[in-house]
A and B are shown apart, each in its own frame.
Chain A
Amino acid sequence: QVQLQQWGAGLLKPSETLSLTCAVYGGSFSGYYWSWIRQPPGKGLEWIGEINQSGSTNYNPSLKSRVTISVDTSNNHFSLKLSSVSAADTAVYYCARGVVGATSFHYYYMDVWGKGTTVTVSS
């Protein structure tokens, strides 16, 4: 059974860089897209971006200028960096496994999620 374990700094000051890592245990790393999603307090889910085993990335256009997602295939890890954070970046950050393919249309759904990391940005 695949599990995602995530970790990283939970308290940041404005202008610092958020850094989180997610490890994949119990399953294949290849053949999937690995995503980061965030949820501000009391609000909905926002997709941040994704990466696959080959290092191919896609980012939410609204965050693209500040986001870098990288992969470490030797350890089945993938990581998120978000630069120049502000209070608006305060959220619970989740990592998730994306299942991607196409039949009639392109499909993308996330079937395994990490437990989430609370990140607070405050001076």
Chain B
Amino acid sequence: SYELTQPPSVSVSPGQTASITCSGDKLGNKYACWYQQKPGQSPVLVIYQDTKRPSGIPERFSGSNSGNTATLTISGTQAMDEADYYCQAWDSSTGVVFGGGTKLTVL
């Protein structure tokens, strides 16, 4: 079955750039998306089709995907960005696959 791997935690200072990675076999040959989840809330889509932002998502959120790694980048990180982030892709054998999630801490 297809698997996606994320670091359990990432820390960033306010105003700095946070990068969260998501690794999977030939992930660059698939589309990745990213969800933000705050405590007690449902996930919110922040990036889809590798690089696209849904309406209402701030421009500081961006994404890339190449080789075996997709990356979510948050520029000028704000305290409100502290949350869990999940990557997700689709595999022909497994279906929808989520990464294990990364807790972003804004120190």
Our pick among A58, A62, A104, A113 for the contact of B43 (Cβ within 8 Å) is A113
Q: In the complex, which of the residues B35, B86, B90, B95 contacts A107, with contact meaning CB atoms closer than 8 Å? A: B90
A45 contacts B95, CB within 8 Å?
Answer: no
B24 interface hit (Cβ, 8 Å): no
Q: Which of B11-19, B73-81, B96-104 contacts its partner?
A: B96-104
Q: Is the CB of B88 within 8 A of A109?
A: yes
B33: CB under 8 A from chain A? yes
Tell me, yes or no, whether B31 is within 8 Å of chain A by CB.
yes
Residues of B within 8 A of A98 (CB): 96
Asked whether A61 lies within 8 Å of B1 as measured between CB atoms, the reply is yes
Q: A45 contacts which of B1, B29, B33, B43 (Cβ < 8 Å)?
A: B43
With both beta carbons as reference points, the residue of chain B lying nearest to A94 in the complex is identified as B42
Given A47-B95, A47-B97, CB of A110 within 8 Å of CB of B45: yes
B88 nearest in chain A by CB position: A109
Query: Is there contact, CB below 8 Å, between A59 and B95?
Result: yes
Contact of A115 among B42, B48, B88 (CB under 8 A): B42
Query: Could you mark each residue 17-41 of chain B with 1 if its beta carbon is under 8 Å from any beta carbon of chain A, else 0?
Result: 0000000000001110101000000
Show the binding face of B for A, using Cβ within 8 Å: 1, 29-31, 33, 35, 42-45, 48-49, 54, 86, 88-90, 92, 94-101
